[in-house]
Each structure stands twice: as structure tokens, then as C-alpha cells.
Amino acid sequence: MLWTIAVILLVMWALGLATAYTVSGFIHILLVLAVVVVLIRIIQGRRPI
């Protein structure tokens, strides 16, 4: 599920770069948060839910 959210955020981020609206800043923040969460899960070695 976490990977699905990360992929959705990545797509939204790419759309934000393409459109360059003010929402893109928020999408960039969400993308960074998703990447941080994924890295923490990988480092901790937990099984996917």
C-alpha cells in the first residue's frame, strides 16, 4: 500500500512539474515525505502490510 501511495505521489509530482501551478509545491512536499517513509521502512526492514 505504501508503494502505491508513493507511485501516486510521484505521478502527481510529475504533473505538478508539467503544469507549474501553486499546488505543485504541496505535491513536492508530499513526495519528499513519501520517499522518507519508504526509506525508513527499508532501513527498519519491516514486512509490507
The residue type of 16 is G
**pLDDT score at 7:** 82
Q: Phi and psi (nearest 5°) for 20?
A: 60, 35
**pLDDT score at 22:** 59
Q: 18 is written with which cell numbers?
A: 508539467
**pLDDT score at 18:** 67
CA 18 to chain centre: 17
pLDDT per position as a tens digit, 2-48: 788 888 888 877 776 666 665 657 777 777 888 888 888 888 886 65
